[in-house]
């Protein structure tokens, strides 16, 4: 599908029915697949023949969605997972094991910070968090002999920091390690990190890709643009005894990383996306281009309106010219950033809670990036155990409201905010 524009790929990529087959991607609700000879099944196990044998590893419905997402991101292949967390975990564990070190931007999703600093630490993988604004020298300083990757988010959730991808990629590549990017908020519609030097892209498909808040999911996309045979990644470039002594770089070349992630880690961890969830994800992807465009234009309109409102203390949205990350956003995602805005109301924490409780259209939910406008006040929900001082040091102002702008009519979203602000 390479000749088509991304808007067409959203609808057409991944599934090409043959004469007389279902027009719409079918749900292959089957854990297993039938073959006529044990010899054939043996070849499947030896990775000598292509085909499906057990849905923990691959399934025809999931396979089509993987092909579509790989095409959208410009990668050589993709592997879906049961959640975004599973995608990040698998992406890291595929190249890091006990004794290894990794670097991550400190401006990342809270769940990912926990994964890196608590759970992976218990696995013996050490992480250094660096400022998303790090200079080349600062990045270089953080890299050690046993550092195996650098990880960052294109637009950080919830800080809305835009990373300078080319700088991060350069630092990684100078040291023979890959740059892994979580592209959940920007989506491939607005930004394709592989074009800017990323080697592996992960997503929580639970957000814009699904778009309707109906199915958890994640995906790992392989850029196929990293040389894993440089001596730093023996798990890819030396025989895997758990797979009949196969050497991934030798047998699978550019696809070594992705094949290993599937046949070793998906086999062992089983963080599989169900065919039913893949079907729902595909329906979401079919309108991704339309929705993202509307999320972004609505959000920009709301952000500009908030910025001029007398009861608003501050607005953080990388699409605003006043924003610290405006220039980076223009460089890496010129057609739009995302639908999420954070802002503070005059009157602090109490005013924030009062505003949130007065909203009628925007619902209070612990989710972002779906079709419906939603709001969250971290200080009284996800971060409620913290004092005001602790909140500020965690980068969460007590008055911070995170609003995820949906695809409703923007006039109604603004009217809802207006009536809420009038009550303050």
Ligand X SMILES: *Cc1c(COP(=O)(O)O)cnc(C)c1O
Q: Is 395 a residue that touches ligand X (CB under 6 A)?
A: no
Whose Cβ is closer to ligand X: residue 82's or residue 264's?
82
What would the DSSP string read from start to end of 71-127? HHHT-SEEEEESSHHHHHHHHHHTT--TT-EEEEESSS-HHHHHIIIIIHHHTT-EE
- Least Cβ distance, residue 116 to ligand X (angstroms): 12
Nearest Cα neighbor of 181 from 213, 221, 209 is 221
Among 26, 54, 111, 235, the residue binding ligand X under the rule CB under 6 A is: 111
Q: Is 109 a residue that touches ligand X (CB under 6 A)?
A: yes
Give the whole-angstrom CA distance, residue 342 versus residue 306: 10
Whose Cβ is closer to ligand X: residue 163's or residue 356's?
163
Q: Is 83 in contact with 94 (CB distance < 8 Å)?
A: no
- Cα–chain center distance at 120: 19
**Residue 14 structure tokens:** 């991944």
Q: Is 83 a residue that touches ligand X (CB under 6 A)?
A: yes
Phi, then psi, of 219 in degrees rounded to 5 = -155, 150
What lies within 8 Å, CB to CB, of 127 at 6+ separation is 101, 102, 103, 104, 116, 117, 120, 121
Q: Is 153 a residue that touches ligand X (CB under 6 A)?
A: yes
Q: Is 274 a residue that touches ligand X (CB under 6 A)?
A: no
Q: Is 63 a residue that touches ligand X (CB under 6 A)?
A: no
Alpha-carbon torsion angle 237, 241, 242, 246, nearest 10 = 50
- Least Cβ distance, residue 127 to ligand X (angstroms): 16
Q: Is 147 a residue that touches ligand X (CB under 6 A)?
A: no
Count residues near ligand X (CB under 6 A): 16
Q: Is 204 a residue that touches ligand X (CB under 6 A)?
A: yes
Which residue in the shown chain puts its C-beta closest to ligand X? 84
Among 157, 323, 342, 374, the residue binding ligand X under the rule CB under 6 A is: 157
**110 to 50, 303, 380, 383: CA distances (angstroms):** 39, 24, 16, 11
Whose Cβ is closer to ligand X: residue 86's or residue 259's?
86
Among 13, 58, 94, 112, the residue binding ligand X under the rule CB under 6 A is: 112
21 torsion bin: left (phi>0), alpha (psi -120 to 50), beta (else)? beta
Among 13, 61, 85, 337, the residue binding ligand X under the rule CB under 6 A is: 85
List binders of ligand X among 163-192 (CB under 6 A).
182, 184-185
Q: Is 154 a residue that touches ligand X (CB under 6 A)?
A: no
Give the whole-angstrom CA distance, residue 124 versus residue 255: 27
78-86, 260-268, 373-381, 386-394 -> range binding ligand X (CB under 6 A): 78-86
Residues that bind ligand X (CB under 6 A): 83-85, 109, 111-112, 153, 157, 182, 184-185, 204, 206-207, 216, 218
């Amino acid at each position: 599908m390479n000749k088509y524009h991304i808007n067409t790929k959203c609808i057409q990529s991944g599934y090409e029915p043959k004469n007389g087959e279902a027009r719409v991607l079918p749900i292959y609700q089957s854990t297993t697949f039938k073959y006529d000879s044990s010899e054939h099944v043996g070849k499947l196990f030896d990775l000598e023949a292509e085909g499906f044998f057990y849905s923990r590893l691959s399934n025809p419905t999931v396979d089509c969605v993987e092909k579509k997402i790989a095409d959208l991101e410009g990668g050589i292949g993709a592997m879906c997972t049961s959640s975004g967390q599973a995608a990040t975990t698998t992406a890291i564990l595929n190249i890091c094991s006990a004794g290894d070190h990794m670097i991550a931007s400190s401006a990342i999703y809270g769940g990912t910070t926990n994964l890196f600093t608590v759970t992976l630490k218990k696995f013996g993988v050490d992480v250094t968090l660096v400022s998303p604004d790090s200079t080349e020298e600062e990045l270089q300083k953080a890299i050690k002999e046993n550092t195996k990757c650098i990880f960052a988010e294109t637009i950080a959730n919830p800080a809305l920091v835009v990373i300078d991808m080319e700088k991060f990629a350069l630092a990684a590549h100078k040291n023979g390690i890959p740059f892994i990017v979580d592209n959940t908020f920007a989506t491939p519609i607005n930004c394709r990190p592989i074009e800017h030097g990323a080697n592996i892209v992960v997503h929580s498909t639970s957000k814009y890709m699904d778009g309707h808040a109906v199915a958890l999911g994640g995906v790992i996309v392989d850029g196929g643009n990293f040389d894993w045979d440089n001596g730093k990644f023996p798990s890819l470039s030396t025989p895997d005894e758990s797979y009949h002594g196969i050497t991934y770089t030798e047998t699978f070349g550019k696809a070594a990383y992705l094949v290993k992630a599937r046949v070793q880690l998906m086999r062992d961890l089983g963080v599989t996306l169900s065919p039913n969830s893949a079907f729902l994800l595909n329906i979401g992807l079919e309108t991704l281009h339309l929705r993202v465009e509307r999320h972004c234009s609505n959000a920009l309109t709301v952000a500009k309106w908030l910025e001029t409102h007398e009861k608003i203390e501050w607005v953080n949205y990388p699409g605003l010219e006043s924003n610290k990350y405006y220039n980076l956003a223009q460089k890496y995602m010129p057609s739009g950033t995302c639908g999420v805005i954070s802002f503070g109301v005059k009157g602090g924490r109490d005013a924030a809670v009062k505003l949130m409780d007065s909203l009628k259209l925007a619902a209070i939910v612990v989710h972002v990036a779906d079709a419906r406008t939603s709001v969250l006040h971290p200080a009284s929900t996800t971060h409620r155990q913290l004092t005001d001082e602790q909140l500020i040091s965690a980068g969460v102002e007590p008055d911070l409201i995170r609003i995820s702008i949906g695809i409703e009519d923007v006039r109604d979203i603004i009217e809802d905010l207006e009536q809420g602000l009038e009550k303050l």
